[in-house]
Structure 1
Amino acid sequence: MQRIKGISEYRKSLRDIVIEASMKAFALHGVRAVKMDDVAQSLSISKRTIYEMFGNKEQLLIEVLKTYKAAKEKELNEKAANCQNVIELLFYAYFQKIKTFKKTNPKFYTDLAKYPLVIELLNQDREQAHNNYHDFLRRGIDEGLFREDLNLDLIARLLDAVTSTMMNGELYRQYPIEDVFRNIAFVSIRGICTRKGLDLFDKTDI
């Protein structure tokens, strides 16, 4: 029994290592440029071992995306619990996004559209993002930083549309990512701020 437990723990550890290595490779080169052979060779393991754990490249990519999302959500939730207000949280998320985009090959985002199951996963994530926007807006209203007359569901949908436009339109390929966020996302947020919210917004150095 102990031996079986040891094998199981080893497989879990190896699985995490493969996901981490794949995440770095996909971000650096794009998804389609990275072959399962490349990942296997970088870790000195057999390609068969990776296929036994993930089935195929799309399943591996899905696990990479889920792992990344879980890590970022944990990080953002911890920040949300400790930051003073939603404006502080907004700029924290902004700087994290900028850092991620600058370290990621644009091909990575373009390549995602080539995988149907990945698209399905991303669409599910959009539903959760809608709820997150709703909670973010409610907190901003409660803090007196966002207008009280907002239609939360409508604004959440508009913010989701803004995000979709940035990604589906591949604006990150045409303009510096800082400009994309400042001219699209930030303009949208400033429009729903109260005077108190605007004062906090404009005091932040970006």
Structure 2
Amino acid sequence: MHKNGNNNSSQYRNELKFRIIRTAMPLFKQKGIKAVRMDDIANILSISKRTLYEIYNNKEDLLLEGVKNDYYEMTKRIQDYAMTAENEIDIVVTFFRMKFADLDSITPKFFTELDKYEKVKLFMQEYKTEQQTEATEFIRKCIENGFFVPSINYGIIQEVCDYVMSSVISNSLYKKYTLKDIFCNFFIVLLRGFCTEKGLVLLDLYLKKTYI
């Protein structure tokens, strides 16, 4: 009986952690991280602030778990899709569509305020490093199958992309255009530059089927 009680308690705690993340992350994205108080999250969930702090010591710990959850969910979704995708161009178009799907509902403040949380920044850097090996292998397959141009230094392009995305936020370009329009247009042009004639045919085909 005692063991079952522990199991039930553990299950409740895990379910509550998931509910907290599912409640907090949309709020962080829509209002900005700073604007959302732990009190607000507790009230929405109808739990005490003490209970919330027993699960997450502070807002940064909660934000970190939320960002991790978002990253891992996205990775799982694209891996699952890749198992039945028609080809690499299909995968890359779907990947960007998934990435940009909710940009219209995210305030730019969310991205600017992420930089203030060191644990979150460290995780994002580590995650990016982990993904670089897979990205390199994916690009190799795109080249091998004749979809991507082999003469491009894709490592340089990756660094340029990082600078562009940071610059969009730091220079407040989102005040003139929406984040979705900025990044969709940028990455469509970028992808077209990667593609061979064979790749372009497929890219145009998939872009007609879906708007990134």
Alignment TM class, shorter chain as reference: 0.7 to 0.9
Q: Structure 1: which amino acid aligns with 2:71?
A: K
Change (3 A) 1:55 1:25: same
CA contact (8 A) 1:101 1:177 kept: yes
- Residue 141 (structure 1) aligns with: 143
How far residue 197 of structure 1 moved from its aligned partner, in angstroms, is 0.7
Higher deviation after alignment, 51-60 or 168-177: 168-177
- Residue 18 (structure 1) aligns with: 20
Root-mean-square deviation over aligned CA pairs: 2.1
* 1:62 to 2:64 alignment: yes
Counterparts of 2:191 and 2:168, CA distance in 1? 15
Partner of residue 120 from structure 1, selected from 101, 119, 122: 122
- Residue 91 (structure 1) aligns with: 93
How far residue 42 of structure 1 moved from its aligned partner, in angstroms, is 0.5
How far residue 24 of structure 1 moved from its aligned partner, in angstroms, is 2.0
* 1:36 to 2:59 alignment: no
Higher deviation after alignment, 189-198 or 31-40: 189-198
Aligned length: 206
CA contact (8 A) 1:138 1:152 kept: no
Higher deviation after alignment, 88-97 or 176-185: 176-185
SS in structure 1 opposite 2:199?
A: helix
Higher deviation after alignment, 164-173 or 145-154: 164-173
Q: Structure 2: which amino acid aligns with 1:146?
A: F
Q: Structure 2: which amino acid aligns with 1:34?
A: V
Higher deviation after alignment, 181-190 or 165-174: 165-174
CA contact (8 A) 1:79 1:89 kept: yes
Higher deviation after alignment, 160-169 or 181-190: 160-169
- Residue 181 (structure 1) aligns with: 183
Identity of aligned residues (%): 33
**1:136-165 alpha-carbon deviations (Å, 9 max, x no partner):** 211211221012334454444444444444
How far residue 195 of structure 1 moved from its aligned partner, in angstroms, is 1.0
Counterparts of 1:202 and 1:62, CA distance in 2? 37
**1:7-28 alpha-carbon deviations (Å, 9 max, x no partner):** 1111111111111111122122
How far residue 44 of structure 1 moved from its aligned partner, in angstroms, is 0.7
Q: Which has the higher contact order (CA 8 A, sep 6+)?
A: 2
SS in structure 1 opposite 2:149?
A: coil
Counterparts of 1:183 and 1:44, CA distance in 2? 42
Change (3 A) 1:11 1:178: closer
SS in structure 2 opposite 1:82?
A: coil
Change (3 A) 1:141 1:134: same
**1:157-195 alpha-carbon deviations (Å, 9 max, x no partner):** 444444444455554444233432344222222222111
Counterparts of 2:137 and 2:163, CA distance in 1? 17
**1:60-84 alpha-carbon deviations (Å, 9 max, x no partner):** 0000001111111100111122111
Q: Structure 2: which amino acid aligns with 1:144?
A: G
Give the gaps of 5 or more residues in structure 1: none
Partner of residue 103 from structure 2, selected from 101, 106, 110: 101
Q: Structure 2: which amino acid aligns with 1:68?
A: D
Counterparts of 1:102 and 1:195, CA distance in 2? 32
